[in-house]
Amino acid sequence: MDKPIVTNTTLLHDALQGLSQTQKTLEAKYFYDAKGSALFEEITSLPEYYPTRTEIGILRDHANQIASELPPDGVFLELGSGASIKTRILLDAMVSLRTYCPLDISKDFLEQNAEQLRTEYPQLNVVPITADFMTDITLPEALVSRPKLVFFPGSTIGNLSRAEAIDLLTRLRSLPHVSGLILGADMVKPTDILIPAYADASGVTAAFNRNLLVRLNRETGANFIPEQFRHEARWDTDMSCIEMHLVSTKDQQVELGGAVISFDKGESIHTENSHKYTTESLAEMARSSGWQIEQMIQDPAALFSVVVFSAAP
Ligand code: AVJ
C-alpha cells in the first residue's frame, strides 16, 4: 500500500487528537481553506442565514454613532480579515481616522486586503498585523502609546467557549491605551430560526461542513467518503449554543495518518460551536472581563447585537 502524502502535519496531529476522543471532534478553524472560505461567503447571503445581513444593517443604521467612539488620533484595530463590507461602513464614517490595523492569522490574505484598502482610502495608513488573536496580540511599537478602538465583528466570538471568550475580552481590555470595543454578537432566539440558519434548504452549510473531510483527505491523505456523513445542526439549550456535527450514515472505518478510525452508524464528529447570547449573558461577560457596556445596539427584531464596550473605570 502506498504511504499517503501528508502536506499539513499540524492538521493531521490535531485531527488524530480530536478523532480519538469519545465525542469525536474537529476544530472549526479548519473550515477555512480556499473552498471553505468561498462556501462561507455563500452562506452569508443565504435567505436562512440572518447574522451577516442583520449586522450590516445595524452598522449602516448606526455608523455615525459607532464611529464617534473613535478617540482623537485613535487607531482602529480590527480582529479578522478586514476584507469585508462591515469594515468599509465604519471606515467611511470615521472621517478623521488615520490608522487602521487589520489583525489576522493569514498573512497573504491580509497583505492583499491591505493593498486594496490603500487604493480605496489613500489618506489612510493601513498597518496589517499577522497574528493569532487567541494567543498573542502584539502591536507595532509605533502604535503602543496611541489610543485604540477595537472592532470584533461577525459573532466570531461565538466560536469560543465562555472561558475563551472572557480570556480574549480580558486581554483586549488590557491592551495599552484601549478606549473601547465594538463587538458583534448573535442573540438567542427560537430554534425555528436558529436551526435553518445552520442547516439551510439548499445544502450550502452541509457542503461547508463536509468540506472539512475533503480537506483532510487532500492535506493528510485520509480516505473519508464525505457522502457517508450527514450534516446536522443541534441546539444546546444549557450552553446557548448551536452545534454542528457530521453524522456517520453507516458503520465504517477511515484511515488517517496510519491510524484506523472506526465510526458506528449514527456516531458524529462535532465540528463547530456557535454560541448565542442574551443581554444578560453579554453584561455578565463584560463584568467578568473588566469592560463597561455603553450601548447594546440591536436590529428591530433583536436578532443580533452590536455592543459598544468602553474601558471607562
Ligand atoms: C463565522 C463563526 C460567525 O457561527 O455563524 C456559519 C460560522 N458556521 N454557518 C457562525 C458558520 C456555519 C459562523 N461564524
Indicate whether 240 and 307 sit together in one domain.
Answer: no
**What pTM value is reported for the model?**
0.96
Nearest CA to ligand 1 atom 9: 198
Indicate whether 184 and 83 sit together in one domain.
Answer: yes
Nearest CA to ligand 1 atom 4: 274
Indicate whether 37 and 71 sit together in one domain.
Answer: no
Indicate whether 143 and 224 sit together in one domain.
Answer: no
Indicate whether 97 and 168 sit together in one domain.
Answer: yes
In contact, 226 and 214? CB cutoff 8 Å: yes
Domain range holding 146?
62-189+276-311
Nearest CA to ligand 1 atom 12: 198
Indicate whether 173 and 99 sit together in one domain.
Answer: yes
Domain presence at residue 3: no
- Pick from 128, 120, 122: which is nearest to 100 by CA? 128
* 272 CB near ligand 1 (under 6 Å): yes
Q: What SS3 class is residue 96?
A: coil
pLDDT digits 0-9 by tens, 72-96: 999 999 998 767 899 999 999 999 9
pLDDT of res. 80: 86
Integer Cα distance of 88 and 270 in angstroms: 34
Instruction: Give 305 Cα–ligand 1 centroid separation in angstroms.
Output: 15
* 36 CB near ligand 1 (under 6 Å): no
Domain presence at residue 1: no
Residues 6+ apart with CB under 8 A from 8: 219, 220
Integer Cα distance of 136 and 129 in angstroms: 11
- Pick from 27, 37, 40 the residue to mutate for probing ligand 1's pocket: most ligand atoms within 8 Å of its CB: 40
pLDDT digits 0-9 by tens, 146-188: 999 999 999 999 999 999 999 999 999 999 999 999 999 999 9
Indicate whether 185 and 228 sit together in one domain.
Answer: no
Indicate whether 158 and 283 sit together in one domain.
Answer: yes
Indicate whether 96 and 243 sit together in one domain.
Answer: no
Instruction: Give 274 Cα–ligand 1 centroid separation in angstroms.
Output: 7
Domain presence at residue 259: yes
In contact, 131 and 105? CB cutoff 8 Å: yes
Domain presence at residue 53: no
Tracing cell 504511504 back to the chain, one arrives at 3
Residues in the chain: 313
Please give the angle made by the CA atoms of 126, 93 and 278, to the nearest 5 degrees: 100
Count of domains forming the chain: 2
Please tell me which residue, 136 or 268, carries the higher pLDDT value.
268
Integer Cα distance of 201 and 212 in angstroms: 20
Domain presence at residue 81: yes
Domain presence at residue 52: no
Domain presence at residue 54: no
- 1 pLDDT higher than 70: no
Integer Cα distance of 190 and 181 in angstroms: 28
Ligand 1 atom at minimal distance to the Cα of residue 159: 2
Tracing cell 478510525 back to the chain, one arrives at 261
Integer Cα distance of 256 and 60 in angstroms: 47
Nearest CA to ligand 1 atom 2: 156
Integer Cα distance of 54 and 47 in angstroms: 12
* 241 CB near ligand 1 (under 6 Å): no
Indicate whether 151 and 286 sit together in one domain.
Answer: yes
pLDDT of res. 22: 98
54-63 burial by CB neighbour count: b if 16+ within 10 A, else e?
bbbbbbeebb
DSSP symbol at 2 = P
Indicate whether 179 and 115 sit together in one domain.
Answer: yes
Q: What SS3 class is residue 163?
A: helix
pLDDT of res. 2: 67
* 158 CB near ligand 1 (under 6 Å): yes
Indicate whether 105 and 128 sit together in one domain.
Answer: yes
Domain presence at residue 4: no
Instruction: Give 145 Cα–ligand 1 centroid separation in angstroms.
Output: 34
